[in-house]
Structure 1
């Protein structure tokens, strides 16, 4: 693994693609295997997300945080990035809690780190089937779930060390619960859906709110009752979403004394509120997010514009553009053919809400300046759902119009060809994603395996009775070492905000609390102070570039 964060696990990918042909055959015979077909689709989704998972590179930032959060309940709750809980990650640690649990059970391995995301992506497929089955029946549900199961961007994100797939599973589950409540006329289920949206916000913040407006619109259009009753249900759901979504921030502010709260990464004042609403909120939308060393490697280089999601940059055209195009074209064809008439009020409301979700996601991610591919998981379920709706309902409507004028065999062949196209083209791209061990979390600042091992060996030999294994300026390089050794480090800086002053560092050195500092290529007042007062030991620490590691003495 080039990042050198965690050891590799070897798996065999043989036979992973045989399942696609079986699923396609089962879908064609869905009336005779109504329960088997969705199970096979979910099984295919699980295979694509789990096969050879352990060979995927891990983001050292999250790997270090998961290792640190497993060292104490305090570090676990506050989302500590380092075992000393001096620095915290930039968002609520809900998803990382799942990774901590997974690594505690299975060991600190790549597979254990990635397992929650892979399972989240699989659950999202099952939840989308349930949602579409409630709205439009089994055929549409099978088509939409199958489209999401093989959608390359969804598979890529589910095989990456990020929170987006778990967020997507929660969002689709919320939509499914809301749709069931709408059909049953039970507003309490919309409130439950709002709570799930709140958990999704806790998981990946503002991405999760893109489907919130379509969910409310679906209820307004399709739920029984008076306007006042529907409005009250939407307000109650919104309050549930807000209460759950802000629960961790409020609990952190009320339960953890200010002196024991770590500095939130990306914030301007150290607070998790600033990190959430400014760094991960407004700045992500406007593209003014501060760039850490190497953190731009996972960004989309294509400029904002209506064709961005169809560009060849980072394979957007193949991984998401094809599916997005199919969704929009099939939607237009279905509307032109009058396919919406085959749905009842609930189904039309749900279909309209999914189309709105698709539209919002397309506009936002085409215009957002600071875009990472993983953000598209907030619209991937809508792409698959609308593609399934449009293809199945549109084909049925067109067939009804052409009945008696075109042989039934020809129409059936066209329908089968459309399904094969929907599945085969993305499946081929997905095969490439898996075989290349691609991921979209990035590995900013990660040290190669040999250099990380040499640095670890050197620092452990020098630590002695010191409290800290080393003092660190580069955040990502610290994450790799934390993930490897699990020892406390002294974080000196967070995106240009000093966490320790030179005077405080000097006192720690004098007290024997830290013997070595890793400054990397940083050019800050603290880096200049360390270079002026320390001895360059970069070569002894196994680093190729001098001026990056320094021995510190009183």
Structure 2
């Protein structure tokens, strides 16, 4: 590798290989080790993302129920409905659900059919990043140097702990990252050749990213557009014209699904979950848009009020006890290497490919850091997986460029390794009882790497052995910490609702390890889930002051009677504790395929969706010709019942129970046409939106009580 890194760029070209040969052997001018190394990296990544994949069971049951429903109904699949009857959608656009839903339709619903596409998309993102970095550096570093830089970037992305966790889960961020990395690939190519077609491809992929996670899909857009405008190899007129045309493509690609939904009458489609007015536009601007930044998302069922699972907003958020171990290991290195590499290529021409690569990924990193650090709305640690490609690209590209730098910049690499080693040591020592030897491996490797790099940079001409040792120990110092977290994450289930990697730090909202915990105070969750259940420990005791934030059904008092297992770690049987009593061992099942793993694979509601097995059996026996098995307050309860019974269940209030999806008029219509026979309301168990009280009152006055369910009641509905 050393000889290749030092090889001059611009070597004479040779006859190119056929496409199939290039796939397996690489380009004709690539060194022999390059393509085998890439395949080895992809195989390693695939193994890491798929090992024991079914341990996560249904993962996030909210999305799992939508995947199952989409495999049962094309209408539910298109809209991203939670249930096969298409009463209400999930609170995200459906693109990620489409991928998993198609897999479930083809192979049948299972943990593997749902999660394997996620893992494969994660592997694909690693490959696309490799290609982007290699192509951007080939002119300056030659084929060997570019391949080495791309290999480092690919390895960094593959081993980023939060990326490993999210690629073993069914949240939409996996597809989001793949689409954004693909858009960056297209944008870099458009900058290199100045042509319109790759820029249109970039816009189309950004539009798909929007339809995966709405405004988060547009976060890198300013960086892409400004990089093309300033650096593209075309006249200013062509650059402006191409950007305008790409803007049209972006609007079409991002807005077509939203437009189709807007054209369909509200009574012919599901209610738009998470919105305040049953429109996708409200979801874009509020709950999944500006509300995440300014913290005013509660109207659509979001947590609102600045509540965050990722810690307080501020410049240090990505380095706090919750998030540091997920993404920050090489964040300082990315900044140091990126800035130094930009200074190194500062005198190059405007269209220099290496500068374009650095500007593209540097802008991506800056925008994500700013938004993620200072966002006042709901912020989960797993959002930071979108930072990982930029960190990986800057570390790989910056490190390779500086390796070839003049002696004036020879201090940058040793300084970067030293800072990385010190920071990794600090992060690892925040959980001193978890694998303490890893911290000392990092410290020793960092010290040895710094000495070796200084000798290589300023000493007499170094031999290949010393140079290879310097590079190897530098990689160990930088990647030992995240690799340990990554392997730990791959060894068991992730918390489907709030997936994180590595050990439990016990800090803040979401201060959880790979299995759960999740909330301070031993993993307790917000109030308002049925009977205080659904989050391990129930109640809202895990929030500051013992109170859950607004936006959860049942108010803010943090009360709740139901007790579930304490840290949501997987149990051996695939069954959730049916008694609702605290399990002092802290073990709870999350791996059952029948949906009994509870909320997000992290504990359970007790029974199935808060209803005991006897009640569920009664509902199944007496559903008759009704479309829905039962109507319940919130999506977590409904999702668990859908997965446990395989039948449609109405979530009257959406994700948190606060959506106004159910009204008295709509309920009357469902009862009149025989679509619904049973409903659970009372004791905070009904819908919590503006019309929730009216629904409760109407049911209590016009329906017959069948059974008591916790502090609510199951009612039999009958047409008037």
Shorter-chain TM-score: which interval?
Answer: 0.7 to 0.9
Distance 1:449 1:393, change over 3 A: farther
Residue 342 of structure 1: how far off its partner (Å): 8.5
In structure 2, the partner of 1:194 is 203
State the alpha-carbon separation in 1 of the partners of residues 65 and 37 from structure 2. 40
1:500 maps to which of 662, 665, 685: 662
State the alpha-carbon separation in 2 of the partners of residues 76 and 304 from structure 1. 36
Length, aligned pairs only: 516
In structure 2, the partner of 1:44 is 44
Distance 1:291 1:144, change over 3 A: farther
The 5 Å alignment of 1:314-463 reads 316-334=323-341, 338=344, 345-369=352-376, 370-397=378-405, 401=410, 405-409=459-463, 410-439=466-495, 441-442=497-498, 445=534, 446=599, 447-448=604-605, 450-452=607-609, 454=613, 455-463=615-623
Query: Which segments of 5 or more consecutive residues in structure 1 lack a partner in the other structure?
Result: 1-29
The 5 Å alignment of 1:484-499 reads 484-494=644-654, 495-499=657-661
1:287 maps to which of 291, 295, 298: 295
Contact in 1 for aligned 2:326/2:381 (Cα 8 Å): no
Richer in helix (by share) = 1
State the alpha-carbon separation in 1 of the partners of residues 238 and 673 from structure 2. 67
Task: Choose 151-160 or 369-378, whichever is displaced more.
Answer: 369-378
Contact in 2 for aligned 1:58/1:161 (Cα 8 Å): yes
2:626 maps to which of 451, 466, 469: 466
2:696 maps to which of 512, 527, 530: 527
Task: Choose 80-89 or 284-293, whichever is displaced more.
Answer: 284-293
Distance 1:34 1:512, change over 3 A: closer
Partner SS state of residue 129, structure 1: helix
State the alpha-carbon separation in 1 of the partners of residues 198 and 363 from structure 2. 21
CA RMSD of aligned residues (A): 3.0
State the alpha-carbon separation in 2 of the partners of residues 393 and 73 from structure 1. 50
Residue 151 of structure 1: how far off its partner (Å): 0.6
State the alpha-carbon separation in 1 of the partners of residues 293 and 365 from structure 2. 18
Residue 67 of structure 1: how far off its partner (Å): 2.3
Contact in 1 for aligned 2:219/2:367 (Cα 8 Å): yes
Distance 1:317 1:423, change over 3 A: same
State the alpha-carbon separation in 2 of the partners of residues 422 and 340 from structure 1. 27
TM-score by length of 2: 0.66
Contact in 2 for aligned 1:391/1:418 (Cα 8 Å): no
State the alpha-carbon separation in 2 of the partners of residues 185 and 280 from structure 1. 34
State the alpha-carbon separation in 1 of the partners of residues 313 and 259 from structure 2. 35
State the alpha-carbon separation in 2 of the partners of residues 156 and 247 from structure 1. 31
In structure 1, the partner of 2:19 is none
State the alpha-carbon separation in 2 of the partners of residues 489 and 394 from structure 1. 58
Contact in 1 for aligned 2:191/2:231 (Cα 8 Å): yes
In structure 1, the partner of 2:101 is 100
Does structure 1 residue 517 correspond to structure 2 residue 679?
yes
Encode CA deviations 1:406-431: one digit per residue, 9 max, x unaligned.
Answer: 45254543322222223322110111
Task: Choose 326-335 or 220-229, whichever is displaced more.
Answer: 326-335
State the alpha-carbon separation in 2 of the partners of residues 500 and 198 from structure 1. 31
Residue 183 of structure 1: how far off its partner (Å): 2.5
In structure 1, the partner of 2:6 is none
2:220 maps to which of 206, 211, 216: 211
Partner SS state of residue 366, structure 2: helix
Encode CA deviations 1:419-465: one digit per residue, 9 max, x unaligned.
Answer: 22233221101112222422453498424474457153232023234
Partner SS state of residue 72, structure 2: coil
Partner SS state of residue 108, structure 1: coil
In structure 2, the partner of 1:476 is 636
Encode CA deviations 1:322-359: one digit per residue, 9 max, x unaligned.
Answer: 122221233345456x3666897121112112111111
Contact in 2 for aligned 1:181/1:187 (Cα 8 Å): yes
Residue 360 of structure 1: how far off its partner (Å): 1.0
State the alpha-carbon separation in 2 of the partners of residues 179 and 411 from structure 1. 32
Residue 102 of structure 1: how far off its partner (Å): 0.8
Distance 1:493 1:449, change over 3 A: closer
Distance 1:490 1:302, change over 3 A: closer
Contact in 1 for aligned 2:276/2:299 (Cα 8 Å): no
Does structure 1 residue 276 correspond to structure 2 residue 284?
yes
Q: Which has the higher contact order (CA 8 A, sep 6+)?
A: 1
Query: Which segments of 5 or more consecutive residues in structure 2 lack a partner in the other structure?
Result: 1-29, 138-145, 411-455, 500-528, 535-598
State the alpha-carbon separation in 2 of the partners of residues 109 and 512 from structure 1. 31
State the alpha-carbon separation in 2 of the partners of residues 190 and 508 from structure 1. 48
State the alpha-carbon separation in 1 of the partners of residues 41 and 347 from structure 2. 28
Distance 1:154 1:289, change over 3 A: same
Contact in 2 for aligned 1:91/1:272 (Cα 8 Å): no
Distance 1:232 1:335, change over 3 A: closer
Does structure 1 residue 150 correspond to structure 2 residue 204?
no
Residue 392 of structure 1: how far off its partner (Å): 2.3
Distance 1:278 1:492, change over 3 A: same
2:185 maps to which of 176, 179, 201: 176
In structure 1, the partner of 2:267 is 259
State the alpha-carbon separation in 2 of the partners of residues 229 and 331 from structure 1. 29
Partner SS state of residue 441, structure 1: coil
State the alpha-carbon separation in 1 of the partners of residues 652 and 469 from structure 2. 65
Contact in 2 for aligned 1:374/1:440 (Cα 8 Å): no
In structure 1, the partner of 2:251 is 242
State the alpha-carbon separation in 1 of the partners of residues 308 and 492 from structure 2. 19
State the alpha-carbon separation in 2 of the partners of residues 511 and 222 from structure 1. 62
Contact in 2 for aligned 1:534/1:553 (Cα 8 Å): yes
Residue 36 of structure 1: how far off its partner (Å): 0.7
Distance 1:231 1:285, change over 3 A: same
Contact in 1 for aligned 2:679/2:715 (Cα 8 Å): yes
Encode CA deviations 1:45-91: one digit per residue, 9 max, x unaligned.
Answer: 21111111111152222122222223333332222222222212233
Contact in 2 for aligned 1:334/1:395 (Cα 8 Å): no
State the alpha-carbon separation in 1 of the partners of residues 341 and 492 from structure 2. 37
State the alpha-carbon separation in 2 of the partners of residues 232 and 505 from structure 1. 53
Residue 231 of structure 1: how far off its partner (Å): 1.4
Contact in 2 for aligned 1:182/1:223 (Cα 8 Å): yes
2:712 maps to which of 542, 547, 553: 547
TM-score by length of 1: 0.85
State the alpha-carbon separation in 1 of the partners of residues 674 and 192 from structure 2. 67
Distance 1:500 1:171, change over 3 A: closer
State the alpha-carbon separation in 1 of the partners of residues 606 and 468 from structure 2. 54
